[in-house]
Amino acid sequence: MKVKMATSVLCLMSYVLSVGAAERPVPRPAQLERIREGVEVYGIVHWGLNTYTDREWGFGDEDPAWLNPDAFDADQIVGACAVGGLQGLIIVAKHHDGFCLWPTKTTEHNITKSPFRGGKGNYVKEMEQACRKYGLKFGVYVSPWDRNNAAYGSEKYVTDVFQAQIRELLSGDYGEVFEMWFDGANGGDGYYGGARERRKIPDGYYRYETETFAMVRKLQSKVCIFNEGDGADFRWPGNERGELCDDSAATVRSYDKSCYRTYCNRGDLKDGTTFHPPEADFPLRKGWFYHEKEKNTVRCGEFLMQRYLNTVGNGGTMNLGVAPDRHGRLAPEDVAALKRFGELKKEFFAQPVTKGPCNVVVMAEDVAQGESVKSWTLKSAGKVIASGTALGIKRIRVLPQPVAAESLTVETDSFAGKVVPAMRLYYVDPKTLNRVMNATTTNGETDTAQWMTNAK
């Protein structure tokens, strides 16, 4: 069907009018609430013993005494993320080294054995309180892999350590948790209580689909879970570069690790069986943890805005890795990049238009009953200027040249029924657009804007 751009005045929260749509994989209540709240850009914070050993993955035998920042400031970290427009933070409470950054009862390898706050500190709590103060949602990352724990690989580890750690963090002492993040790095070499050996785990070891996900949701009714399994709410798109293809769909086929990489980025709009949107994660620096030698790899604000258009603009969410330094603060260059990103995001959507020139189009469909649109075409005075398959949660398209808003029409084809996409039009200074579209990383690597709209 064709829709004139009079629909551009619709609020995106109204999404679409659907009539007689066929059954499609639908979002869980927590997923749908996240979508309707517009929570689309957030961060994941890596800080801990790796910050002081200059590693990305700790082995598990690190000395807790090394965690000794001289100026830790949760407000400075979270405040800078708030200025950058991040809507939430996922706090890495335990990485693969097994060191817990809160006073857990599950292991002696925790923050109380460090000099942090005189052995009485709780990093996770301080970060949670700062998130509440600055209006950011609070999330938690607990690595399932534990290279320190002697029980890792046994059933005892899953029930008495891993699941118990999750219960401690989600039971209410840290308030509402918006996302629980489970890493896919599991099993391998480790300290393991002094065994210093390689351990392999079987499929299903963490009981995600049978127990763990259900436990998480029982403890936190509004939580969303990040993992590759069918029972999770957000999926990994197969890279840590913040890259989604133009037609990335929330709908995806049942998880099969033997071929997951072939469909995890694009999804499967036609034959998918699960509503499992992509969460595109990438670090602000080259690595996830702070390394002084990577000072010159901080992504500039323009590059971050480019990634926003590529992730959120292609139906996913954007998860930016931030890394406090050895002082316990974000470095000035990180703060500056976040600030610039926040400014650009505001600038991009500061001038909505209903007539006259526009060069940015934002579209969405109501996904409460699943993704219905299977193709869309945007035309200006009858000429096709953008097209695609999936529409879903959101599509943002930057036009090659400004066009008159009143000349635009959109045509959609759906699996069943009539779908009218909600739309907003914006005008952005072409010089700003050019800087964003051609932004490069500061380490000399160029990320071309091939995903941007091209005239067809």
Residue 16 sits in a domain of what CATH number? Answer: 2.60.120.260
Residue 452 lies in a domain: no
Question: How many domains in the chain?
Answer: 2
Domain boundary among 303, 326, 348: 348
Cα(142)–Cα(156) distance, integer angstroms: 17
Cα(38)–Cα(139) distance, integer angstroms: 16
Beta bridge partners of 272: none
Do 343 and 381 fall within a single domain?
Answer: no
Do 342 and 368 fall within a single domain?
Answer: no
Cα(394)–Cα(364) distance, integer angstroms: 5
Cα(339)–Cα(333) distance, integer angstroms: 10
Cα(189)–Cα(199) distance, integer angstroms: 6
Q: Are 182 and 207 in contact (CB under 8 A)?
A: no
Q: Is 172 left (phi over 0), alpha (psi -120 to 50) or beta?
A: left
What confidence score (pLDDT) does residue 418 get?
84
Do 316 and 389 fall within a single domain?
Answer: no
Do 207 and 321 fall within a single domain?
Answer: yes
Q: Are 323 and 284 in contact (CB under 8 A)?
A: yes
Residue 447 lies in a domain: no
What confidence score (pLDDT) does residue 455 get?
23
Do 304 and 368 fall within a single domain?
Answer: no
Residue 454 lies in a domain: no
At 319, phi and psi to the nearest 5? -120, 105
Task: Count the residues in the chain.
Answer: 456
Do 260 and 339 fall within a single domain?
Answer: yes
Do 281 and 173 fall within a single domain?
Answer: yes
Give the pTM: 0.93
Q: Are 211 and 217 in contact (CB under 8 A)?
A: no
Residue 276: is it exposed, middle or buried by C-beta count within 10 angstroms (0-12/13-18/19+)?
A: buried
Residue 401 lies in a domain: yes
Do 104 and 205 fall within a single domain?
Answer: yes
What confidence score (pLDDT) does residue 100 get?
99
Residue 167 lies in a domain: yes
What confidence score (pLDDT) does residue 2 get?
52
Domain boundary among 279, 313, 348: 348
What confidence score (pLDDT) does residue 5 get?
43
What confidence score (pLDDT) does residue 440 get?
85
Do 279 and 416 fall within a single domain?
Answer: no
Do 306 and 172 fall within a single domain?
Answer: yes
Residue 339 lies in a domain: yes
Per-residue pLDDT of the chain (456 residues; tens, 9 = 90+): 454 443 333 344 434 454 444 589 999 999 999 999 999 999 999 999 999 999 999 999 999 999 999 999 999 999 999 999 999 999 999 999 999 999 999 999 999 999 999 999 999 999 999 999 999 999 999 999 999 999 999 999 999 999 999 999 999 999 999 999 999 999 999 999 999 999 999 999 999 999 999 999 999 999 999 999 999 999 999 999 999 999 999 999 999 989 999 999 999 999 999 999 999 999 999 999 999 999 999 999 999 999 999 999 999 999 999 999 999 999 999 999 999 999 999 999 999 999 999 999 999 999 999 999 999 999 999 999 999 999 999 999 999 999 999 999 999 999 988 888 999 999 999 999 999 999 987 543 433 332 222 222
What confidence score (pLDDT) does residue 444 get?
36
Q: Are 146 and 98 in contact (CB under 8 A)?
A: yes
Residue 92 lies in a domain: yes
Residue 262 lies in a domain: yes
Domain boundary among 348, 381, 404: 348
CA dihedral 30, 31, 32, 33 (to 10 degrees): 50
Do 221 and 273 fall within a single domain?
Answer: yes
Instruction: Supply 300's token pair.
Output: 């500039």
Beta bridge partners of 426: 352, 360
Task: Give 256-259 contacts, CB < 8 A, sequence gap 24+.
Answer: 257/203, 257/228
Tell me the residue range of the domain where 163 lies.
29-348
Instruction: Supply 63's token pair.
Output: 């000395």
Please give the DSSP secondary-structure letter assigned to residue 53: H
Do 344 and 357 fall within a single domain?
Answer: no
Cα(266)–Cα(262) distance, integer angstroms: 8
